[in-house]
């Protein structure tokens, strides 16, 4: 630690999905001295490389933080739940469920309408193409030369095929569509961020190459506690490494990429945020920015559960130690097309569930897996889940510090289901999922476990089931929203309003949710953020 230079051109806070991309791109110019600071350890877990390892690594507190939870959520009967994220080099990209989808064109139109000028689908497309090597090769929609490899899910099997056929017939839309075309209505296998069946995280792709450069320094197990300012200019950061408290300066910019839960906390701790909140905790106000921590959002995920006699569920193919060993051998020595290559979901559908919406408004996930009582184990029977969430929920919450102590958790409120439209879309989605399951071929002997006929009998009962069982899809976003109105936090070039030398580049800047698992959107934001910085030199 004592050998670390005290001044860099750029300091990037958080080596997660976005931060790793930004630091890598900035260090491509050998004239830039770049420091990347990460609170967690290096990404050394084998479970991070294997897609199915997702189900294991998220319960490993060395790599996944379980330090934060929601406040009691009023509209879901006062329930609280944990908010895990990847706390390691690679961030959530090293522990997430790998499903790779960009969202739909109208998501980005909604961003532009919310003040994110220049962020339409067409304007973002070159940056999606820049980070990816897509299995379709180089096309007008896809890139073939980027560090993140994108493949079609590799464990194709008859039960998943039957889901795709049945969903396509029930919904009256296509099958095996390109979910990343911007117009994804239909059903099929998901694309995953994998390379030959292994996770393609930002730590193992972008950073692996960039760390060979002498102008990039990566500090691990170092938590930034404060952004330092001279007047309204960000000049560097204070961080803790073990028992040491150290400072380092940035000649050009500090870039916050700490994720949507922690970026607003760091801004608030540093004196940038709602003045009243900062004063309440005795923090000197550097700049009164009322939107910092507001607009917190997530996808609220619910599902239907089924038993089946199919052999093609996890509960069947990974039941015994011998099966697990054989699948392991097949994975490491074979074609890597087996069950170990599955992410958080195998197949699914994009659909318009509610007439209240004017576009696709729901993602439906087919997961041939039924957990046991402990949550991480396998149930003894063969089963699958049809999980879902609304694409662009309207409910919004907030993230607010509870103390000036950087080690204290902020408080997180999402206000899930506080908007009528959000309740209606999920009700409609649950009904449609029920229809698809009921239409599955008789040979699979599909029977519903939950919610069951009683809950299905009325909207009221079904809504109650949704409130009692739904929780996070891990797509936290929006807490440093881009825009130009008084409640926005960054401008469309991701510079913090009212401050110089400070940008936010991570999921925090999203004005609204994407109708997608949001990792692809975060990578695109990171590519654009790096581009803005390099162009502004």
Ligand X SMILES: Cc1cc2nc3c(=O)[nH]c(=O)nc-3n(C[C@H](O)[C@H](O)[C@H](O)COP(=O)(O)OP(=O)(O)OC[C@H]3O[C@@H](n4cnc5c(N)ncnc54)[C@H](O)[C@@H]3O)c2cc1C
Q: Which residues are marked as active site?
A: 475
Residue 436 or 523 having the CB closest to ligand X: 523
Enclosing H/E stretch for 235: strand 233-241
Residue 288, SS3? strand
Give the three-state DSSP class for 363. strand
Judged by beta carbon, residue 99 or residue 426, the one nearer ligand X is 99
Report helix, strand or coil for 74: helix
Whose Cβ is closer to ligand X: residue 91's or residue 143's?
A: 91
Distance CA(223)–CA(202), nearest Å, equals 20
Cis preceding linkage at 484, omega within 30: no
For 81, the token pair is 């739940």
Reduce the DSSP state of residue 103 to 3 states and report it: coil
Least separation, in Å, of the C-beta of 261 and ligand X? 8
Phi, psi of 419 (to 5 degrees): -105, 135
Are the CB atoms for 452 and 305 separated by under 8 Å?
no
Residue among 89 and 110 whose Cβ is closer to ligand X: 89
Choose between 86 and 368: whose C-beta lies nearer to ligand X. 86
Closest distance of CB 380 from ligand X, Å: 25
Instruction: Name the residues that contact ligand X, by CB under 6 A.
Output: 13-19, 37-40, 58, 84-87, 91-93, 95-99, 223-224, 257-260, 262, 266, 343-344, 474-475, 506-507, 517-520, 522
**Shortest Cβ distance from residue 353 to ligand X (Å)?**
21
Element of type H or E holding 503: strand 502-504
- Residue of this chain nearest to ligand X (CB atom): 16
Nearer to ligand X, 37 or 168 (CB): 37
Residue 276 φ then ψ, to 5°: -60, -40
Residue 157 CB: number of other CB atoms within 10 A?
18
Q: Which of 363, 452, 478 is nearest to 101 (CA)?
A: 363
Strands of 17-176, DSSP E: 34-37, 64-65, 85-86, 132-134, 148-152
Beta carbon of residue 240, minimum distance to ligand X (angstroms, whole number):
9
User: Coil, helix or strand for 223?
Assistant: strand
How far is residue 313's CA from residue 148's CA, in Å, rounded to a whole number?
28
Q: Which is nearer to ligand X, 250 or 455 (CB)?
A: 250
Beta bridge partners of 79: 73
Strand boundaries in 328-396, DSSP class E: 347-351, 362-367, 383-390
**Minimum distance, C-beta of residue 98 to ligand X, in the bound complex (Å):** 5
Pairing of strands 34-37, 7-13: parallel
For ligand X, give the closer residue by CB, 60 or 469.
60
Phi and psi for 9 in degrees, rounded to 5? -80, -45
Minimum CB separation of residue 72 from ligand X in Å reads 22
CB of 30 to ligand X, least distance (A): 25
Cα separation, 146 vs 205, in Å, equals 9
Query: What is the rounded CA–CA span in Å between residue 106 and residue 84?
Result: 29
Report the alpha-carbon distance of residue 24 to residue 210 in Å, rounded: 5
Nearest to 439 by CA among 164, 202, 198, 186: 164
Considering the complex, state which of residue 427 and residue 489 has its C-beta at the smaller distance from ligand X: 489
* Least distance (Å) between residue 294 CB and ligand X: 17
Closest separation between CB of residue 499 and ligand X, Å? 18
């Amino acid at each position: 630690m004592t050998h670390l230079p005290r001044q860099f051109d750029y300091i990037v806070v958080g080596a997660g999905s976005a931060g790793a991309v930004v630091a890598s791109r900035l260090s491509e110019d050998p004239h830039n001295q770049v420091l990347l600071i990460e609170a967690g350890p290096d990404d050394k877990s084998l479970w991070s490389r294997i897609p199915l390892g997702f189900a294991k690594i998220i319960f490993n507190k060395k790599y996944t933080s379980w330090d934060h939870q929601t406040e009691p959520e009023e509209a879901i009967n006062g329930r609280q739940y944990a908010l895990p994220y990847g706390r390691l080099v690679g961030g959530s990209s090293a522990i997430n469920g790998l499903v790779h989808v960009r969202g739909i064109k109208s998501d980005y139109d909604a961003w532009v309408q919310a003040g994110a000028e220049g962020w339409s689908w067409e304007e973002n497309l070159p940056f999606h193409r820049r980070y990816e090597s897509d299995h379709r090769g180089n096309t007008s929609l896809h890139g073939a030369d980027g560090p993140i490899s994108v493949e079609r899910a590799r464990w194709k099997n008859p039960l998943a095929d039957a889901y795709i056929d049945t969903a396509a017939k029930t919904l009256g839309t296509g099958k095996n569509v390109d979910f990343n075309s911007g117009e994804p209505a239909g059903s099929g296998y998901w694309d995953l961020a994998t390379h030959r069946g292994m996770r393609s995280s930002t730590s193992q792709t972008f950073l692996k190459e960039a760390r060979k450069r002498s102008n990039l320094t990566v500090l691990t197990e170092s938590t930034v506690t404060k952004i330092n300012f001279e007047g309204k200019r960000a000049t560097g950061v204070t961080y803790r490494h073990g028992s040491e408290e150290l400072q380092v300066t940035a000649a050009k910019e500090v870039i916050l990429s700490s994720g949507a839960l922690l970026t607003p906390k760091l801004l608030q701790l540093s004196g940038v945020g709602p003045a009243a909140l900062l004063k309440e905790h005795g923090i000197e106000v550097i700049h009164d920015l009322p939107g910092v921590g507001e607009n917190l959002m997530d996808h609220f995920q619910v599902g239907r559960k089924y038993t089946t006699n199919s052999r093609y569920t996890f509960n069947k193919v990974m039941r015994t130690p011998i099966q697990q060993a054989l699948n392991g051998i097949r994975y490491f020595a074979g074609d890597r097309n087996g069950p170990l290559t599955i992410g958080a979901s195998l197949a699914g559908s994009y659909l318009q569930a509610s007439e209240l919406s004017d576009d696709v408004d729901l993602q439906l996930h087919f997961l041939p897996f039924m957990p046991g009582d402990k949550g991480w184990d396998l149930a003894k029977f063969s089963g699958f889940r049809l999980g879902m969430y609304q694409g662009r929920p309207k409910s919004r919450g907030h993230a607010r510090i509870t103390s000036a102590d950087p080690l204290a958790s902020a408080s997180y409120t999402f206000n899930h289901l506080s908007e009528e439209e959000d309740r209606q879309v999920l009700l409609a989605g649950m009904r449609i999922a029920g229809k698809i399951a009921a239409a599955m071929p008789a040979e699979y002997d599909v029977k519903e476990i939950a919610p069951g006929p009683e809950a299905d009998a009325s909207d009221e009962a079904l809504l109650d089931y949704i409130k009692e069982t739904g929780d996070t899809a891990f797509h936290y976003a929006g807490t440093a929203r881009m825009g130009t109105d008084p409640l926005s936090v960054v401008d469309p070039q991701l510079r913090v309003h009212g401050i110089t030398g400070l940008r936010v580049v991570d999921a925090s800047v999203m004005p609204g949710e994407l109708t997608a698992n949001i990792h692809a959107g975060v990578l695109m934001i990171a590519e654009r953020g790096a581009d803005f910085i390099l162009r502004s030199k």
